Amino acid sequence: MHVLGLTGGIASGKSTISGMLRSLGALVIDADAIAREVVMPGTAGFSAVVNAFGPTVVDCAGSLDRHLLADIIFSDSAAKHRLEKIVHPLVHEAIVQRLQEAKAASNVPLVVLDIPLLFESGIALPLCDRTAVVWVPEKIQLARLMKRDNLTCDAALARIKSQLPLDQKRKMADICIDNSGLLQDTANQVQKVWRTLTGSIGDGR
């Protein structure tokens, strides 16, 4: 079983690529989804975030106001670090547990660790056999993010600049998937990655 660490940048299309790999037969462990789980109401993570940022980050339904938290951390690097210090260890613990379960199953050809901050945090890198980055030019990333989240140029740039540049991640990764062209071009690259890592044409074959 191979473990592929998949990363990218905001609005680079990483979720699209992880979905393609899932359709081919990979088990995808989604760090973003886990990050939401570990701070759900009633969890230790939820209490820790509220203690760190105050009750104003709780919405009227009793959950964390993710939009408010995003506004806070993208404008304050110290706040971003404070949140990451709470969430990252909890996410890592859950990833390790799910990876162990996948290895015990012994019928999974490829596990994809879908982790936006794979290189920034570095905590999950030892779990990966190979790493891949989903890359697009910054101007495309910016345009997609502005359209997707209805953001101004300045707000979108602030979110992009809070992460390592995709050009830098491209140099750090073993594999680069260029998602700036047609969707079929991206799919062809993903198929090649799948064949390289599993020796299979997909869907368990």
Q: Which CATH class is domain 2-198?
A: alpha beta
Tens of pLDDT, residue by residue, the chain (205 residues) = 899 999 999 999 999 999 999 999 999 999 999 999 999 999 999 999 999 999 999 999 999 999 999 889 988 989 999 999 999 999 999 999 999 999 888 788 999 999 999 999 899 999 999 999 999 999 999 999 999 999 999 999 998 998 899 999 999 999 999 999 999 999 999 999 999 999 865 554 4
Please answer whether residues 105 and 148 qualify as being in contact, where contact means their C-beta atoms are separated by less than 8 angstroms.
no
Q: What is the pTM of this model?
A: 0.87
Q: What is the pLDDT of residue 162?
A: 85
Beta bridge partner(s), residue 181: none
**What gap in Å lies between CA 93 and CA 98, rounded to an integer?**
9
Nearest by Cα to 2 from 140, 99, 93: 99
- Measured N-to-C along each axis, helices 44-53 and 77-105 cross at an angle, to the nearest 10 degrees, of 170
Q: Report the alpha-carbon distance of residue 116 to residue 9 in Å, rounded.
A: 7
